[in-house]
Homo-oligomer: A and B are copies of this chain.
Amino acid sequence: MINKLYLDDLTIGDIFVNNDSYEVTEEEIIAFAKQYDPQVFHTDPEKAKETFFNGLASSGWLTAAISMHLTAKAFPIAEGLIGANADLKWPSATRVGDELTIDITIVDIVPSKSKPQQGIVTYETVTKNQHQEIRQICRANILVFRRPTE
């Protein structure tokens, strides 16, 4: 088990990876979409063939959720991942059979001027499938605390 990380433990350029992958099934793509993104290219494999995606495609929000699942395991920030914002790009759509993995790079660290015990960390998570096709790039800002001094 990796120790929990504080602001003091992070350096720009640090990389975190998750050695697990997450296999995306037709069932999960359809179930997620029926609940949260009910569009035909996400819910109906047959009708999806006649759309822009030429077949069933995952909702980008499912790609985001799976990427979070992988990130939570790979990036053990002490007080948890408290996100203020996130910028997402979806260069291509996640498909049935994708085995998604992530890597995380620390992009910026800005200690707070008014609250010396905390700072904002910017990190970029790249989500790829087993063929190295990039399914998502997510750049997020999180609140990270300094190691308690007591």
**In the complex the two chains form, is B79's CB within 8 Å of A68's CB?**
no
**In the complex the two chains form, is A79's CB within 8 Å of B52's CB?**
yes
A interface secondary structure, majority: mixed
- Within the complex, what minimum Cβ distance (angstroms) separates A97 from chain B? 19
| Copies of this chain in the oligomer | 2
A87 and chain B: residue at smallest CB distance: B87
Please indicate which of the listed interface residues A36, A53, A64, A82 has the most CB atoms of chain B within 10 Å of its own CB. Answer: A36
Interface residues on A, range: 20 to 34
Known interface pairs A61-B64, A69-B38, A72-B39; A84-B89 also in contact (CB < 8 Å)? yes
Q: Which residues of B contact A85 (CB under 8 A)?
A: 87-90
- Within the complex, what minimum Cβ distance (angstroms) separates A140 from chain B? 9
Chain A residues at the B interface, C-beta cutoff of 8 Å = 32, 35-41, 51-53, 59-61, 64-66, 68-69, 72, 79-90, 143
